[in-house]
Amino acid sequence: MTSGPYLNRRALIRRSAAAGFLTLPAVGALASCASGGGDNDTVEREEATDSNPFGVSPDAGLEVVIFDGGFGDQYALDAEEIYQGSYGPVEHVKTTEIQTRLQPRMVQGDPPDVVNNGGADAMDIAALIRNNQVHDLTELLDAPSLDDPSVRVRDTLLPGTVEMGQFGSEAMYRLNYTFNVYGQWYSRTALERLEVEYPRTWDEMIAVCEKAKQEGIAGWTYPGVYPYYFNFTLYPFIAKIGGPDVLRAIDNLEPNAWRHDAVRSAFEAYYELVARGYVLQGSPGLTHEESQGEWNQYRALFIPNGSWVENETAQNTPDDFDMAVGPPTSLDSSDAMPFETIWASAGEPFFVPADATNVPGGLEFLRIMLGSESARNFTQLVSSLTCVRGAADGLTLPPGLTSAQDILAAAGDNLVIPRMPDWYRQLNNEEIGGAVAAMMAGEMEPDEAITRCQRAADAAARDDSIQKFQHV
């Protein structure tokens, strides 16, 4: 979709590429390439004011690329309409192929102005930062907020939002717009039909799954095609058993971090689900949508997921499902952290490319999204919280999101935020995810899975081509 007669050099480049007049490098060869500053025609900044803190040119066009996933793109279209009320036309693109479509443009120095870098085909943000291809968003944080010029943008954000955009320095390169609550998602109706309570200890989990099995219902399902979904419950489970320092050691690629007793206990507990036949048959071959579909049809009690799942499954969720999320079940009373401990953090990443034609416009678009109007609109449209403080106050929320707010409040300071998924995307998704997937498919036992995880982490630690990060 294109709003207005916006056609500049970047549009001409894309059309030339489509027509075969411009040769772009193969995607597989892009990881070692950096634009180093493109020769695209950048928009000059106007004089900054409180209402226009970045000096956006009043008639400059803007290109926004949105990941067309569980949240859709209507929220972005609505924010773009606000932008166009003061500035130039917006070219709106939605796609699930973020890396495939955009990384060649990043290399050419001709990127969009705003990128929603989501989904399985997201670009490696750490590599882009290393190659100086991402604009520092610190000036966005220090700008006056849209709703109150006396309050800086950074002071409107929930805790952890800024930190999730930092990669080993004080600079913030990425705005994670949503505030995701991860955990064991379930149907209250399904548990009520079995006449069981949500399991707080692993013995209770086994008892619930056994009762479900006797009724022909699986205890768990998961998207085996994207096995890193299991990490949404596995990582906080590890932290609950052994404490947050165990996760920090894993994130820091420390030697033998994966051999900690807490990791072993967590892996053995999850493997028990497999050994006892509590995992839905065929789960290793399911996509996220397929596993959610099985869960929605009451064929499995629990699924590891994040708070976007309510919107993503809205069309297939039965009216009586009564969706909810609980903290990962604890192991037992010896756990280092309380049952209420969860993984909750800002997600759904946006960034402004360093070589964007309209960097000021990109920053202003993000400032608009962080305004109360856009943030409340997002929550109402897609049943997900944003990173903006108080933006959902007073709204009538669906059951799943209400549940997410409840466990977030109950957790208090007992939050963990693993950085492995964004610091080392390939290691997390493919190597660690692959080892967990093999274990959950019954192809290897916990000891072998742990060894595979540690070997992968050690290989990453030795690889000088991979930028390393540390918790501060």
Residue 12 has pLDDT above 50, yes or no: no
Q: Write the pLDDT tens digit of every residue in 63-113.
A: 999 999 888 999 999 999 999 999 999 999 999 999 999 999 999 999 999
- Parallel, antiparallel, or unpaired for β 300-305 and 183-187? antiparallel
| Coil, helix or strand at residue 302 | strand
pLDDT at 22: 36
Residue with tokens 């992968």: 456
Q: What is the mean pLDDT of the chain?
A: 90
- Parallel, antiparallel, or unpaired for β 175-181 and 114-116? unpaired
Give the confidence band of 21 by pLDDT, cuts at 50, 70, 90.
very low
pLDDT at 4: 38
Q: Write the pLDDT tens digit of every residue in 23-68.
A: 333 333 333 344 334 445 678 899 999 899 999 998 889 999 999 9
Cβ atoms < 10 Å from Cβ of 140: 23
Residue pair 70/287 in contact (Cβ under 8 Å)? The answer is no
Q: What is the mean pLDDT of residues 404-410?
A: 92
pLDDT at 70: 80
Nearest-angstrom CA–CA distance, 233 and 228? 10
First-to-last alpha carbon distance for the chain, in angstroms, is 43
Cβ atoms < 10 Å from Cβ of 81: 12
Residue 18 has pLDDT above 80, yes or no: no
Q: Which amino acid is at 446?
A: P
Task: Give Dmax (Cα) for the chain.
Answer: 70
* Least confident span in 15-19, 328-332, 384-388, 453-457: 15-19
Q: Which contiguous run of DSSP H or E holds residue 76?
A: helix 74-84
Q: Write the pLDDT tens digit of every residue in 142-185.
A: 999 999 999 999 999 988 899 899 987 889 999 999 999 999 99
Q: How many CA atoms lie within 13 A of 62 on its CB side?
A: 32
pLDDT at 101: 96
191-207 residues labelled b (16+ CB within 10 A) or e (exposed): beeeebebbeebeebbe
Cβ atoms < 10 Å from Cβ of 149: 13
- CA of 44: how far to CAs of 56, 58, 360, in Å? 8, 11, 9
pLDDT > 90: what percent of the chain? 79
Residue pair 343/327 in contact (Cβ under 8 Å)? The answer is no
* Least confident span in 73-77, 213-217, 223-227: 223-227
Q: Any idea which fold 39-176+351-382 has?
A: D-Maltodextrin-Binding Protein; domain 2 (3.40.190)
CATH 3.40.190.10 region(s) of the chain? 39-176+351-382, 181-345+401-462
Residue scoring higher pLDDT (393 or 196): 196
pLDDT at 384: 86
Question: Closest by alpha carbon to 392, among 148, 381, 342, 153?
Answer: 381
- Domain spanning 181-345+401-462: CATH 3.40.50.300: no
- Parallel, antiparallel, or unpaired for β 90-95 and 183-187? unpaired
Q: Which amino acid is at 347?
A: G
How open is the CA angle 181-245-455, to the nearest 5 degrees? 95
413-438 residues labelled b (16+ CB within 10 A) or e (exposed): ebbbbbbbbbbbbebbbebbbbbbbb
pLDDT > 70: what percent of the chain? 91
